[in-house]
Chain A
Amino acid sequence: MGAVVGTLTMQTKQRQPARDKVDDELEMTMVCHRPEGLEQLEAQTNFSKQELQVLYRGFKNECPSGVVNEETFKHIYAQFFPHGDASTYAHYLFKAFDTTNNGSIKFEEFVMGLSTLLRGSVRDKLEWTFHLYDINRDGFISKEEMTDIVRAIYDMMGKYTYPALKGDVPKQHVDAFFQKMDKNKDGVVTMEEFVLACQEDETMMRSMQLFENVM
């Protein structure tokens, strides 16, 4: 009786590998990616050759296949924020870096994003941030989108904070934000409103300059 059962299971197993082999081959062809030449990247971004080299070495170390997928990205970002849950914010970041929207970040996209953030003009930075907040890429930041973003940021803090998180703190934060940003009070923030409001805010301007010399 045991033998009968055994042979039955054997039959079902044999049918699977054929399909799996095809899938494996497909995956193998997609995985490796090499970036364009160093000179081209140097021309397209504001980084020097050495900086690109250092960046690429770090990138390739973590992602030997040449692309970052979302899981790896979330994992890497979560290492920096061990207290809370950084996955949601990492997801939004991933979407912001993945300009081609194909679910993976190549080195070029990565470097372009970093170039904007670190070496770009103030306006470039603000535009990049607007794109980060505008989750559905419709050109407007709605209250729901902003709430999602702020909630994701608060998630990174984790549970143990001082003072303790009581009430719906993200919502209050979003209300304050909209108070500041939404000039015409139409419930959404456009790019121009955003840039204008930020440029008026002295503290924010100063904070933006903080990360000038990260590289």
Chain B
Amino acid sequence: MATGVAAWLPFARAAAIGWMPVANCPMPPAPREHSKKQDELIILNVSGRRFQTWRTTLDRYPDTLLGSTEKEFFYNEETKEYFFDRDPDAFRSVLNFYRTGKLHYPRYECISAYDEELAFFGIIPEIIGDCCYEEYKDRKRENAERLMDDQEENKDSRLPNMNFRETMWRAFENPHTSTMALVFYYVTGFFIAVSVITNVVETVPCGSTPNQKDVPCGERYTVAFFCMDTACVMIFTVEYLLRLFAAPSRYRFMRSVMSIIDVVAILPYYIGLVMTNNEDVSGAFVTLRVFRVFRIFKFSRHSQGLRILGYTLKSCASELGFLLFSLTMAIIIFATVMFYAEKGSSSSKFTSIPASFWYTIVTMTTLGYGDMVPKTIAGKIFGSICSLSGVLVIALPVPVIVSNFSRIYHQNQRADKRRAQKKARLARIRIAKKGSSNAYLQSKRNGLLNELLDLTSSEEEEQHMNKTSSLLESQHHHLLHCLEKTTAHEFVDEQLYEQNCVEGTQFSRSPSLSSQEGFTGTCCTRRSRKRIPLPNASLSTTHTHTHTQGLQELSAIHIQCGDQPSLSTSSRSSLNMKSSERSRINCRGQQITTAVISLPSPTNFPPDGDGHGLANPVSAPATINTTSSSNIVKVSAL
């Protein structure tokens, strides 16, 4: 039932009394109406602008936000109103939907903003009224096309590990990707031009031989032209074969228009090679040479305008068809009329109706060659009517084609502009992102410095550090920190990560020490916190000891590397195994370290456990290993 007419339900129920006398069986009991409330005004405060409406108005559509109990989540007890932090202008159309039952799309509104508002209030856009639905759909389609264009460009920037074939295909399709591709692009373009010019120049008469006949250049310099032709065809053949090899779907490539043009361009040459200079077939051979002119279509790979033109013609196929059809009709009519009008006059050129076709076409397109002219008065009258109507018939479908072309052309312009702007946009966005991730790392270092300062108890500097970050930021950083602790890995910036990858199994202390002082600081200061009762001497030793572990401190969990079997035997859960596997990748050398996370049993960490920094003692800290493995389990189970 359309809830828009919910207000008339009482009437429909009352009218049901009319069925009572006819009914044979008793009626079901009526549903109970719980506490008849008087209809009350509801205040909807949308970003400060107050809208008021009856409760029953909103109840008309119970499967939306405002019509269901979902709006109770937005109820403000103190002000006794429902507060929504949304755009009040868009809310107008939403509320009008409840009032009138029709949803309208305001033209000034951005389509995605409007969609978001509808989604928020739980209204499906399909119920937009007929008056606004077309506009809505058009804008939505435009937006989708725009997004699709962007996505297509994203596809271009693919993974760096493409095989040779894919790289080649990408180079062919998009010449701007690499220098080689650009070179290839220009070379092929040059040769297409050369080939077309040779075809043209071949037929120009140059110089006359003594028998006073103008010979075309092609016959005079046969060898030169033949060499040129061969060279061009060889280049084209190589190009075609390379494209065929690189194409991701060879069958589809062979069916595409461009490949057919390629084939047609080079085939006459090969056929000419194969065929002998036979008298019978030379006529056909000459015809084949005509196909060489198709090489000019190869330019469409090089020119976007040509491609757009071709695409426009394809998309206006129906209009072109109509144009052709109406022209044919008019030609036949006028040709018939002219033929019969001119039948009387002697020596008339209008010998038959098909012969009059030529006159009609020339007249309708306002060419007017004058090789056929009507001589009788009737003929002249009809001839003038013919030329007038010709103008009309041709002028009608042309604007449609033109507007189509204009739309597609502008769309392409827009795509190019967006591509150019996109690079700048992405660069700026990347910088902003880096800024925020750097902020986290920066604040971590600040925080560690804070803790160091804690120990050395210089309060003022600590406060200064704390002021620089807002509450939101500190909560965000805390969250990231929790994530680090959960996964027992830490965030690093790009350069450090690459450094670590490059350095391989080498263990370099000094550079990493300075850059990672902050990181090492975390663990040891954490631990040192727990051991405040211990004397300062041990504090400093632990501090320095962990410092020597340098690179290893990357992961908060330090797993022994060279002694996997013992770990695995003592492991209690597969979780443990996994973590050890993972850390094996991070492991740069054979180091034994102990778990550093603050755990409930810090006494498990004998201070000398840290001493096993560098070498690879296996047997001695076996017990420590087990405890650390158990500790590892605990941490992973976080």
Contacts and interface: CB of A to CB of B under 8 A. Distances in A.
A179 B14 CA distance: 27
Contact of A79 (B5, B25, B388): B5
B33 A213 contact: yes
A166 interface: no
Given A117-B14, A132-B18, A210 B8 contact: no
B525 to A, nearest CB: 71
Contacts of A176: 24
A11 interface: no
Interface in B372-416: 385, 388-389, 392-393
Contact of B21 (A77, A118, A198, A206): A198
Contacts of B27: 206-207, 210
A210 B32 CA distance: 11
Nearest to B54: A57
A117 B18 CA distance: 9
A210 B29 contact: yes
B30 A210 contact: yes
A121 interface: no
Contacts of A59: 7
Given A58-B8, A82-B1, A204 B17 contact: no
A4 to B, nearest CB: 10
Nearest to B386: A1
A86 B468 CA distance: 72
Nearest to B32: A213
Q: Which of A2, A82, A96, A153 has the most CB of B within 10 A?
A: A2
B9 interface: yes
Nearest to B3: A79
B7 A61 contact: yes
Interface in A89-148: 93, 96, 110, 114, 117-118, 125-126, 128-129, 132-133
Interface string B28-67: 0110010000110000000000000010100000000000
A17 B204 CA distance: 69
Contact of A149 (B17, B22, B24, B54): B22
Contact of B2 (A2, A79, A208, A215): A79
Contacts of B56: 54
A181 B38 CA distance: 42
A79 B385 contact: no
A7 interface: no
A161 interface: no
B18 A211 contact: no
A176 B33 CA distance: 35
A114 B17 CA distance: 11
B18 A1 contact: no
Interface in B612-628: none
A54 B55 CA distance: 12
B23 interface: yes
A128 B23 contact: no
A160 interface: no
Nearest to A202: B26
A125 B389 contact: no
Contacts of A1: 385, 388-389
B33 A118 contact: no
Contacts of B273: none
A144 B14 CA distance: 25
Contacts of B393: 2
A59 B9 CA distance: 11
A179 B320 CA distance: 74
B16 A211 contact: yes
B22 A150 contact: yes
Contacts of A114: 10-11, 14
B23 A2 contact: no
Contacts of A79: 1-2, 4-5
A206 B38 CA distance: 28
Given A2-B389, A77-B12, A211-B14, A194 B29 contact: no
B227 interface: no
A3 B390 CA distance: 12
Given A2-B389, A79-B1, A215-B10, A208 B15 contact: no
B127 to A, nearest CB: 15
B464 interface: no
Contacts of A125: 17
A76 interface: yes
B19 interface: yes
B314 interface: no
B59 to A, nearest CB: 13
Contacts of B17: 117, 125, 128-129, 208, 211
Nearest to A90: B15
B20 to A, nearest CB: 5
B130 to A, nearest CB: 16
B14 A214 contact: yes
A71 to B, nearest CB: 14
B13 interface: yes
A183 to B, nearest CB: 14
Nearest to A1: B389
Nearest to A82: B1
A70 B22 CA distance: 24
Given A173-B22, A177-B22, A204-B23, A211 B389 contact: no
A160 to B, nearest CB: 17
A190 to B, nearest CB: 14
B129 to A, nearest CB: 16
A55 B10 CA distance: 9
B18 to A, nearest CB: 5
A58 B39 CA distance: 12
B7 A57 contact: yes
Contacts of B9: 80
A176 B24 CA distance: 9
Given A57-B7, A79-B2, A177-B22, A50 B13 contact: no
A65 B5 CA distance: 16
A14 interface: no
Interface in A153-212: 153, 173, 176-177, 181, 194, 198, 203-204, 206-208, 210-211
B53 to A, nearest CB: 11
A109 to B, nearest CB: 12
B32 to A, nearest CB: 10
B37 to A, nearest CB: 11
B8 A214 contact: no
A50 to B, nearest CB: 7
Contact of A211 (B30, B38, B388): B30
A59 B54 CA distance: 15
Contacts of A203: 25-26
Given A1-B385, A50-B38, A210-B27, A204 B20 contact: yes
Contacts of A110: 11
A87 B24 CA distance: 23
Given A114-B11, A203-B26, 6 more contacts: A1-B389, A2-B393, A62-B7, A118-B10, A204-B21, A213-B30
Interface of A: 1-3, 50, 54-55, 57-59, 61-62, 76-77, 79-80, 82, 93, 96, 110, 114, 117-118, 125-126, 128-129, 132-133, 149-150, 153, 173, 176-177, 181, 194, 198, 203-204, 206-208, 210-211, 213-215
Closest 8 CB pairs of A and B: A58-B7, A117-B14, A207-B27, A203-B26, A214-B13, A79-B2, A79-B5, A214-B10
24 contacts: A1-B388, A2-B389, A3-B392, A58-B7, A61-B99, A76-B5, A77-B12, A80-B5, A80-B8, A80-B12, A118-B14, A132-B18, A133-B21, A176-B24, A181-B21, A194-B21, A204-B21, A204-B23, A208-B17, A208-B20, A211-B14, A211-B16, A213-B30, A214-B14
